[in-house]
């Protein structure tokens, strides 16, 4: 194992120019993938901040007994994803409306009876603050007996969510594309190295070298290229992030920004190693078929 | 010294043919090589000596016929077992096949690394075989900086590094003067005494007479004659 790493490092040093280009290419790919991930992480962070504010209003049927209303509230509390459930009586709703209308509230005095229904105001549990779960919950609440209508969300928020979804899609597609490009570059480099080493490989085979023994250092080389590229890419990303974060802070820090969570950094790093490994695999498959 | 051939053959050929395209390199070869035999394959250039050795270590495959080595039928051996077959051999190639970018000692170490030997063992063994061929002080040199004779000695050192059961030597004295050739041959005889089976391809009749042993004489890819030449008294 150590011998393999040594041999791989020696090889890389012997072809340092080629390897440098490969590592830089992998780094740039990782940088772009990372940038998308970073955007996505911060956009969803922002989103979850906003979704904390949104709630589902469930308007109740008229003529429900207090017991029926209470048991409905209990059922809502028992539903998965529901955080906080608050009852808003029709009287309280009217009061709120009155407060909201200021001078015009006199208009309400002319009403003979309160036209507003009783309602439950439902907030989501933290873990459930995403759109699909949110909509699913709203639909299920709408289906409960005693609920006449639900109201939730705001149009702009939905639009924002849709844009983020689009970005996620583009990000995944671009990520896949750049990962592929990086794997292709690594494959190409390894192919060149294999080509320059073909006599040596043949000799090692004649000396009774097993395939694993012969291929190991090349896999190691791909893995190292991936790892170095990944580390360099993440470092560049972090540098860029610090720069932007400082600018945001100067601007008053109205937006909360954060770097990628540790597990995502690890994931991207491992991903870049996998890319290197795949590059080697492709070349070795092709070149050492015999 | 009389050489005793012990019992069952280590290599057996049955009606072996080898063709390169339409060109026949070997035709209908059948013979056996005993364990611990010292055997020569002789014949003029182009007779098929190198081809015959290649078939043994699966550097090429037979077009027809069967080769059995140490109980293994080479036509049936699975690909992943080939390295194990090759580790039975110590091969001195006609063109040496040294890796030009690696030092003399690294070239030899490969044989042992391929077998998964521990570092320390490898270092010791490499030193010892280089001492045996008198190339210890050139261990850090790259092969292209060595003379033909020196490269040949490195090739010999590499061939014996793995303590092989069978030594295949293709014109092992081709680029050596008589004195150096005798040193190499003495070495082959030494490994033979220790129990190895030795197969030497050469067209040098004088060398054969000096060592003695069975000779397979090839002519245009066909077995011409098998004779036993007694060793000349020194
Ligand atoms: N790889 C090859 N492709 C085509 N012909 C070959 C190849 N190797 C050897 N030959 C031919 O097979 C014959 C035997 O060659 P070889 O075994 O090298 O003879 P020797 O070693 O006795 O000089 C020669 O005619 C040679 O040209
Ligand atoms: Mg030859």
**Three state DSSP letters for chain B:** CCCCCEEEEEEEEEEEEEEECCEEEEEEEEEEEEECCEEEEECCCCCCHHHHHHHHCCCCCCCEEEEEECCEECCCCCHHHHHHHHCCEEEECCCCCCCCCCCHHHHHHHHHHHCCCCHHHHHHHHHHHHHHCCCHHHCCCCHHHCCHHHHHHHHHHHHHHCCCCEEEEECCCCCCCHHHHHHHHHHHHHHHHCCCEEEEECCCHHHHHHHCEEEEEEECCEEEEEEEECCCCC
Alpha carbon separation from B28 to B16, B44, B47, B52, B160 (Å, rounded):
5, 18, 13, 12, 31
Q: Rounded to the nearest whole angstrom, what is the distance from the C-alpha of residue B90 to the centroid of ligand 1?
A: 21
Q: Rounded to the nearest whole angstrom, what is the distance from the C-alpha of residue A254 to the centroid of ligand 1?
A: 81
Give which of A92, A64, A86, A62 is closest to A73, Cα–Cα: A86
Top pLDDT among B36 and A162 is at B36
> Which range is least confidently modeled, A16-30, A40-54, A209-223, A265-279?
A40-54
* Boundary of a domain, candidates A152, A186, A205: A152
List, in order, residues 6 or more apart from A120 with CB less than 8 Å away.
Answer: A57, A58, A60, A72, A73, A76, A85, A86, A87, A88
Q: Does A210 touch chain B (CB under 8 A)?
A: yes
Record: contact B101-A200, CB cut-off 8 A: yes
Give which of A166, A177, A164, A84 is closest to A128, Cα–Cα: A84
| Pairs of CB atoms within 8 A across A/B | 52
CB-ligand 1 contact for B47 (6 Å cutoff) = yes
Number of domains in chain A: 2
Percentage of the residues of chain A whose pLDDT score is greater than 90: 19
Confidence label for B142 from pLDDT (cuts 50, 70 and 90): very high
CB A164, CB A40: distance < 8 Å: yes
Q: Is the pLDDT of residue A75 over 70?
A: yes
Count of residues making up chain A: 290
Q: Does B114 touch chain A (CB under 8 A)?
A: yes
A163 and A237 assigned to the same domain: yes
A62 and A179 assigned to the same domain: no
A184 and A72 assigned to the same domain: no
CB B174, CB B152: distance < 8 Å: yes
| Residue B213 bridge partners (DSSP) | B229
Which residue of B22, B25, B53, B60 sits with most ligand 1 atoms within 8 Å of its CB, as the best mutation to test the pocket? Answer: B25
The ipTM of this complex is 0.88
Which 8-state DSSP code applies to residue A103? G
Q: Does B57 touch chain A (CB under 8 A)?
A: yes
Q: Tell which of B114, B155, B167, B170 to mutate to test the A interface (max A CBs under 10 Å).
A: B114
Nearest CA in chain A to B119: A3
Q: Span B93-114, mean pLDDT?
A: 93
A138 and A218 assigned to the same domain: no
Q: Which two tokens stand for residue B177?
A: 């003067």
Q: Tell which of B110, B117, B129, B143 to mutate to test the A interface (max A CBs under 10 Å).
A: B110
Q: Rounded to the nearest whole angstrom, what is the distance from the C-alpha of residue B56 to the centroid of ligand 2?
A: 14
Top pLDDT among A288 and B15 is at B15
A168 and A253 assigned to the same domain: yes
Q: What angle in degrees, to the nearest 10, is found between the helix axes of A155-196 and A262-287?
A: 40
Residue A6: its chain B contacts at CB < 8 A?
none
> Which range is least confidently modeled, A39-43, B174-178, B187-191?
B174-178
Record: contact A207-B80, CB cut-off 8 A: no
Q: Does B102 touch chain A (CB under 8 A)?
A: yes
CB-ligand 1 contact for B51 (6 Å cutoff) = yes
Residue B57: its chain A contacts at CB < 8 A?
206
A134 and A179 assigned to the same domain: no
A171 and A85 assigned to the same domain: no
Q: Does A91 touch chain B (CB under 8 A)?
A: no
A267 and A178 assigned to the same domain: yes
For residue B52, the model assigns a pLDDT of: 96
* Boundary of a domain, candidates A152, A172, A199: A152
CB-ligand 1 contact for B23 (6 Å cutoff) = yes
Record: contact A204-B110, CB cut-off 8 A: yes
Q: Is the pLDDT of residue B58 over 50?
A: yes
Q: Is the pLDDT of residue B112 over 90?
A: yes
> Which range marks the domain in which residue A278 is found?
2-49+158-288
Q: Does B101 touch chain A (CB under 8 A)?
A: yes
For residue A156, the model assigns a pLDDT of: 67
Of B86, B116, B119, the CB nearest to A207: B86
Give which of B82, B88, B128, B92 is closest to B109, Cα–Cα: B128
**Which ligand does the CA of B54 lie closest to?**
1
Give which of A34, A54, A256 is closest to A151, Cα–Cα: A54
* Boundary of a domain, candidates A118, A152, A186: A152
Chain-centre distance for alpha carbon B81: 20
What does the pLDDT look like over A34-67, one tens digit per residue?
888 888 888 877 777 666 667 788 888 888 888 8
pTM exceeding the 0.80 threshold for the entire prediction? no
Q: Span B125-132, mean pLDDT?
A: 94
A129 and A143 assigned to the same domain: yes
Q: Rounded to the nearest whole angstrom, what is the distance from the C-alpha of residue B190 to the centroid of ligand 2?
A: 24
**In the predicted model, what is the mean pLDDT of chain B?**
90
A217 and A274 assigned to the same domain: yes
Confidence label for B2 from pLDDT (cuts 50, 70 and 90): very low
Confidence label for B234 from pLDDT (cuts 50, 70 and 90): low
Atom number, ligand 1, closest to the C-alpha of residue B218: 22
Q: Span A142-168, mean pLDDT?
A: 78
A141 and A223 assigned to the same domain: no
Q: Tell which of A208, A210, A213, A289 to mutate to test the B interface (max B CBs under 10 Å).
A: A208
Q: Span A24-28, mean pLDDT?
A: 90
Give which of B172, B148, B149 is closest to B160, Cα–Cα: B172
Measured CA to CA, the distance from residue A75 to residue A61 in angstroms comes to: 16
A84 and A33 assigned to the same domain: no
What does the pLDDT look like over A210-265, one tens digit per residue?
888 888 888 998 999 999 999 999 999 999 988 888 887 777 666 667 888 888 89
What does the pLDDT look like over A123-134, one tens digit per residue?
877 666 666 677
CB-ligand 1 contact for B138 (6 Å cutoff) = no
Q: Span B70-77, mean pLDDT?
A: 92
CB B201, CB B52: distance < 8 Å: yes
Residue A210: its chain B contacts at CB < 8 A?
80, 83, 114
CA distance A13 to chain B (A): 13
Domain containing residue A82: CATH number = 3.30.70.3040
**In the predicted model, what is the mean pLDDT of chain A?**
84
Q: Is the pLDDT of residue B61 over 90?
A: yes
């Amino acid at each position: 194992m150590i011998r393999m790493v040594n041999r791989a490092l020696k090889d890389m040093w012997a072809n340092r120019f080629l390897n440098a280009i490969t590592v830089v290419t992998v780094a740039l790919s990782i940088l772009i993938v990372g940038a998308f991930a970073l955007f996505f992480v911060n956009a969803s962070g922002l989103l979850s901040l906003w979704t904390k504010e949104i709630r589902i209003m469930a308007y109740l049927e008229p003529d429900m007994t207090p017991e029926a209303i209470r048991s409905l509230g209990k059922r809502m509390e028992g539903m998965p994803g529901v955080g906080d459930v608050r009852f808003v009586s029709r009287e309280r709703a009217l009061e709120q409306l009155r407060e909201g209308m200021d001078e015009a509230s006199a208009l309400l005095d002319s009403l003979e009876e309160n036209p507003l229904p009783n309602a439950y105001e439902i907030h989501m549990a933290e873990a459930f603050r995403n759109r699909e779960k949110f909509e699913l919950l709203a639909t299920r609440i709408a289906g409960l007996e005693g609920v006449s209508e639900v109201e939730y969300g705001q149009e702009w928020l939905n639009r924002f969510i849709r844009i983020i979804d689009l970005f996620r899609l583009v990000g995944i597609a671009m990520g896949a594309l750049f990962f592929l490009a990086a794997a292709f570059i690594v494959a190409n480099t390894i192919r060149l190295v294999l080509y320059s080493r073909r006599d040596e490989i043949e000799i090692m085979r004649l000396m009774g070298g097993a395939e694993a023994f012969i291929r190991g250092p090349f896999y190691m080389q791909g893995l190292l290229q991936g790892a170095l590229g990944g580390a360099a890419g993440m470092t560049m990303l972090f540098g860029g992030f610090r720069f932007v974060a400082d600018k945001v802070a100067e601007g008053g820090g109205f937006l909360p920004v954060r770097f990628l969570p540790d597990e995502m950094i690890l994931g991207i790093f491992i991903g870049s190693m996998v890319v290197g490994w795949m590059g080697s695999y492709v070349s070795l498959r092709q070149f050492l078929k015999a | 010294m009389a050489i005793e051939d012990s019992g069952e053959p280590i290599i057996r050929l049955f009606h072996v043919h080898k063709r390169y395209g339409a060109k026949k390199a070997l035709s209908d070869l059948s013979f056996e090589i005993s364990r611990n035999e010292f055997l020569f394959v002789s014949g003029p250039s182009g007779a098929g000596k190198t081809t015959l050795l290649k078939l043994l270590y699966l550097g090429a495959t037979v077009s027809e016929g069967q080769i059995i080595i140490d109980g293994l039928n080479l036509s049936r051996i699975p690909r992943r077992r080939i390295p194990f077959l090759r580790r039975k051999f110590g091969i001195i190639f006609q063109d040496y096949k040294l890796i030009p970018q690696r030092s003399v000692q690294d070239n030899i170490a490969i044989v042992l690394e391929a077998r998964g030997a521990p570092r320390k063992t490898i270092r010791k063994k490499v030193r010892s075989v280089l001492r045996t061929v008198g190339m210890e002080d050139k261990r850090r040199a790259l092969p292209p900086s060595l003379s033909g004779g020196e490269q040949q000695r490195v090739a010999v050192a590499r061939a014996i590094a793995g303590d092989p059961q069978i030594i295949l030597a293709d014109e092992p004295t081709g680029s050596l003067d008589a004195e150096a050739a005798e040193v190499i041959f003495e070495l082959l005889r030494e490994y033979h005494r220790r129990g190895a089976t030795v197969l030497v391809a050469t067209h040098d009749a004088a060398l054969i007479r000096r060592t003695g042993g069975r000779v397979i004489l090839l002519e245009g890819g066909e077995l011409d004659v098998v004779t036993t030449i007694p060793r000349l008294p020194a």
